[in-house]
Amino acid sequence: MIAEYRKMWEARNWMKRNEPFLPTWQAYVGYRLDLFEKLAGGATIESLVQEYGYEENLLRSWADAGVVLGHLKKEGDRLIPSKKMLKFFSQKSDDTVGELLKELFEMHMPALMNYPSMIESNQKGTFNGDDFSKTVAATSALIEKRAFGHVLAEMSAQKPHWVLDIGCGTGGYLMKLAKKMNQGTFVGVDISKDCVEEAREKAMEKQLDDKVKFYYADINTWDVPNGLFDVVMMNNLLHYYSPDARGDLFTRVAELVSKRGTVIVITPLYLEKGGQRFSAAFNSFMEAHDNLHPLPQKEALVQDAASAGLKLKSVKTVVREGSWYCMSFSKK
């Protein structure tokens, strides 16, 4: 009898543990179909069904969950989204964080749910960066906002003439720096053609193309003079390299950076205090793909850098609970 009761209690606890997931799901669906925006425009469930051919019962149950959660308010036939949901989950809002939920539901969850079959079949998936380049760029930009102060502080101390960003993505760090610094040439290199094209377009739009240059190349083979750069950045790049290849990457970086130069590395660190849960989940995602690699551990990263002649100067927290850090190194 007691065993039965304990079993029921355990089941109840696991049910309750999953309940906090409901708001994330409701927000994700609302963002993906831009339902908060559509409802704010005066639509009703009936009008959305008519206009977009949506399945009515699914839409109603999504809306009911929204009302229960306070994401939506019922006024007659109309459902009014809260100001917060409109601000953060309308596709056109400048403040939207919807891509973060898209990353969670469409990249991370499917990978985690495939674990049983991947473990059994000894086969990992392959991450298709092109499908999710916009999503990854949007979520990286959130980290960029938090990390930029640390990067700017390093640059202001160094007063560099030449700055290199390896794996620059769409060039966010470099363009922000070019605006803030009154000297220097800012160079980005990325292996993704789409990213480089978008970065170049943005630089033209912002009239920064004389100070910021982007190159489509693989850093391992890119032909550029050694010792040219006063600052070299590698932001969120290390998980594209296997742990065995990271030593060579640091050696390449140490060649590129000038004598008294600085190397900046922004990265999530595996199982760092405060961010253990997040980094364990993020690392599980990396491990699920044959073309991504485990997150670096701090000691191994510092060791790889030291073997290449780079000495750790500082470690600054970017997002503690996310295990994200900004590390800087100087040439020994």
Least separation, in Å, of the C-beta of 198 and ligand SAM?
10
Neighbours of 153 (CB within 10 A): 14
3-state secondary structure of 277: helix
Alpha carbon 170 to its chain centroid, in Å, reads 13
Interacting residue with ligand SAM among 195, 212, 238, 292 (CB under 6 A):
195
Amino acid at site 33 = L
Cα-based distances in Å from 282 to 85, 99, 103: 26, 16, 11
Rule CB under 6 A: say whether 169 interacts with ligand SAM: yes
Longest CA–CA span in the chain (Å) reads 77
CA-to-CA distance for 179 and 169, rounded, in angstroms? 18
Least separation, in Å, of the C-beta of 281 and ligand SAM?
17
Identify whether the C-beta of residue 329 lies closer than 8 Å to the C-beta of residue 285. Answer: no
Nearer to ligand SAM, 103 or 209 (CB): 103
Nearer to ligand SAM, 26 or 139 (CB): 139
Amino acid at site 180 = K
3-state secondary structure of 189: strand
CA-to-CA distance for 327 and 316, rounded, in angstroms? 6
Q: Is the dihedral of CA 88, 203, 193, 171 positive or negative?
A: negative
Least separation, in Å, of the C-beta of 253 and ligand SAM?
11
CA-to-CA distance for 255 and 224, rounded, in angstroms? 10
Using CB under 6 A as the binding rule, the residues of this chain from 170 to 189 that contact ligand SAM are 172, 189
Interacting residue with ligand SAM among 160, 167, 261, 296 (CB under 6 A):
167
Interacting residue with ligand SAM among 192, 258, 279, 328 (CB under 6 A):
192
CA-to-CA distance for 182 and 161, rounded, in angstroms? 10
Residues in the chain: 332
CA-to-CA distance for 36 and 80, rounded, in angstroms? 8
Nearer to ligand SAM, 54 or 216 (CB): 216
Interacting residue with ligand SAM among 191, 224, 300, 319 (CB under 6 A):
191
Rule CB under 6 A: say whether 190 interacts with ligand SAM: yes
Nearer to ligand SAM, 129 or 309 (CB): 129
Rule CB under 6 A: say whether 236 interacts with ligand SAM: yes
Q: Is the dihedral of CA 155, 157, 160, 165 positive or negative?
A: negative
| 237 to 256: interface string for ligand SAM, x by CB under 6 A | x--x----------------
Rule CB under 6 A: say whether 144 interacts with ligand SAM: yes
Interacting residue with ligand SAM among 220, 226, 242, 291 (CB under 6 A):
220
Least separation, in Å, of the C-beta of 279 and ligand SAM?
15
Least separation, in Å, of the C-beta of 142 and ligand SAM?
9
Query: How many residues of this chain bind ligand SAM (CB under 6 A)?
Result: 20
Interacting residue with ligand SAM among 86, 100, 136, 253 (CB under 6 A):
136
Q: What residues line the site for ligand SAM (CB under 6 A)? A: 136, 140, 144, 166-169, 172, 189-192, 195, 218-220, 235-237, 240
